[in-house]
Structure 1
């Protein structure tokens, strides 16, 4: 159907949201931008800064390992750190990290690993350590536990939010959503999701899966709308595509 002039609008109905649709959707956006001899941002009327702050990930380890990793990233220039946590040693890990990087902006990603029991105390611990945001603390199927849950820091939906159809269930439970093109099925739905989410009062984060620079480039028009960006996926690859985006520790350069 691509050879017959498949449109982005038709693509939304042809394929379900996911990585496959994202690949085709991104290619169609890129094709249109090239045909008009514009950048993708220019095509959408978006002005991008030459440098963006992106989170650098601190992976799960012992408290000492995670603190050392955070300190090393801070010394290299990272100011926004995304801390991966499971349900173990939460206090020990976070206290060690905050002691190592007292001035860094920290966001925590629990990746659905927590349970409703103990959530109040854990949120208060993070707030006391000046954590800026908590991402997906509970499994998506346990989201009802967040209904009208009073919490001292913003909670962001990741696995619980894929497309605009997710938003209704998030109201009263989450403060923010993490938009990833591999979840939305491409920039077309991501732009619509961002607009509708903001209209409903949600804050925005822009994230990614493990991916190449090409996937990050497709998401960049969303950057001016988001409070946090976590776009370090290509930095975990042994080999990126060419031409690759230029990353320094904690920054993406255009």
Structure 2
């Protein structure tokens, strides 16, 4: 099995800001795996919060590239276990796991959602993310992209006022992501005000390790709260079920589709809602996420919609949120090159 790695810098349509950082470009790494004339593609982005760069991922994978090429590929799950045994970071594992799943589907001639026994007749609509900015800039972004659901990034001194102003211009559902910027007291205070403004849920309002604060929020918040930074890997799901209404799974953080499928199953067993989110990936990563949507309650897979230009074809999202799946098997990805 041949392995190939390539770095890309993805240009964003607009400066993207959250509570802890801003950027105009997103560095990403595309991994490809080729076997029997078929090629699968996977992706993982750099991430300063988790101290991951495209170069660090490439160095990790290059160090075991000869072992990957000798590996007798049968299923993505067995390949994933091999990668874990080599001690790679979850981001690097994610890129290879996504490529392995895409390859596996292409070898079988079936899309992944079909292999998993799910139907794409019904699925949740992705939100469209509005980063932190001046009110007029946030409004301009909403007007540029009319959408049924917006995720609003917050973490300022005027968060409720921002939502109140945005609400004057749209009837869309709002979701709020504070990216760890609030305290328990702020969250409990803001929740009823935001609920009146049509907010559906809050995502990770507190710092990732503030479990006592989240317990307080769970007892007093009038809005559901979804874990993001507090839910990284499979072992986090059970603890999050005691402190959150649901979890947001990020493929890069957990290590790909293989563990994500297990996390979805576990969350459903525990009776909490399930969301899968993106990291401003290209269509390569978004197409992998899209294979999971029949299994989800919520999804945030607008990454490719935030780009000025893309590097691949695959799953396409229409202006009304409808998802168009390609006829190509696996994740349906092809690099534009």
CA contact (8 A) 1:105 1:132 kept: yes
Map 1:185-200 onto structure 2 (within 5 A).
185-200=255-270
Match of 2:181 in 1: 113
- Structure with more strand by fraction: 2
Kindly state the Cα deviation for residue 69 of structure 1 after the two structures are TM-superposed: 3.2
Match of 1:144 in 2: 212
Deviations 1:104-130 (A, max 9, x none): 111011011112232211111111212
Correspondence 1:31 to 2:98:
no
Q: Figure out how many residues of one structure are paired with residues of the other and give that number.
A: 250
- Between the aligned partners of 2:106 and 2:255, the Cα distance in structure 1 is 21
Match of 2:283 in 1: 213
Correspondence 1:82 to 2:151:
yes
Correspondence 1:96 to 2:168:
no
- What SS class does the counterpart of residue 107 from structure 1 fall into? strand
CA contact (8 A) 1:194 1:204 kept: yes
Correspondence 1:5 to 2:72:
yes
CA contact (8 A) 2:124 2:298 kept: no
Match of 2:197 in 1: 129
CA contact (8 A) 1:120 1:151 kept: yes
- Between the aligned partners of 1:47 and 1:15, the Cα distance in structure 2 is 35
CA contact (8 A) 1:210 1:234 kept: yes
- Between the aligned partners of 1:244 and 1:219, the Cα distance in structure 2 is 11
Of 206-215 and 61-70, the range deviating more from structure 2: 61-70
- Structure with more helix by fraction: 1
- Between the aligned partners of 2:87 and 2:282, the Cα distance in structure 1 is 22
Of 129-138 and 140-149, the range deviating more from structure 2: 140-149
Of 55-64 and 42-51, the range deviating more from structure 2: 42-51
CA RMSD of aligned residues (A): 2.0
